[in-house]
């Protein structure tokens, strides 16, 4: 509406593009609900290095556990690390992810010690440049969901599945 107020001559174009974008988001939402909510409840827990995906958990039934909570500069203590590693080994946490553009040495250590490979990078607040999909909100949303699904749908007995 603000664009239309600034440039009324293009009102029809702005309205058409807004309608297309809303339709794209609704299709993506339906697709995401079908796939993530279709997973068994016990298969929907992931660990990420940063708090930035809580919205995804709330909207689509994922349990998002994070390393960073109280402070982005505070690492988990030994007791927390042992619990995380045990939860990964036992399958309580099904996926392990880095934040795109931010390599976490703690996530690397957890991966090594648990034997669970990192499932890839998830975008938490920044658009990417490396891939055309990562340059739009709907693109990064789709990439994140695809990466999460690839890990959550994998056979936990197959140690080569990221």
Q: For 1-20, what is each residue's pLDDT tens digit?
A: 788 899 899 899 999 999 99
DSSP reduced 3-state for 40:
coil
Range in 114-118, 149-153, 157-161 with the lowest mean pLDDT: 157-161
pTM: 0.84
DSSP 97-141: EEETTB--HHHHHHHHHHTPPP--EE-SS---SSSGGGGSHHHHH
Residue among 64, 61, 14, 53 at smallest CA distance from 33: 61
- Provide CB contacts within 8 A for 150, sequence distance 6+: 119, 120, 162
Give the pLDDT band of residue 159 (cuts 50, 70, 90). very low
**Per-residue model confidence (pLDDT) at position 73:** 65
């Amino acid at each position: 509406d603000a664009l239309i107020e600034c440039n009324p001559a293009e009102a029809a174009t702005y309205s058409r593009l807004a309608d297309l974008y809303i339709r794209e988001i609704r299709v993506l939402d339906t697709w995401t609900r079908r796939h993530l909510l279709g997973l068994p409840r016990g298969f929907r827990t992931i660990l990420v290095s940063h708090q930035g995906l809580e919205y995804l958990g709330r909207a689509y039934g994922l349990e998002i556990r994070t390393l960073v909570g109280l402070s982005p500069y505070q690492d988990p203590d030994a007791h927390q690390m042992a619990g995380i590693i045990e939860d990964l080994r036992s399958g309580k946490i099904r996926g392990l992810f880095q934040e795109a553009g931010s390599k976490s040495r703690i996530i690397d250590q957890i991966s090594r010690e648990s034997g669970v490979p990192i499932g890839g990078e998830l975008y938490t607040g920044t658009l990417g440049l490396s891939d055309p999909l990562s340059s739009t909100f709907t693109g990064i949303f789709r990439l994140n969901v695809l990466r999460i699904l690839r890990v959550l749908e994998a056979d936990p007995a197959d140690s080569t599945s990221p």
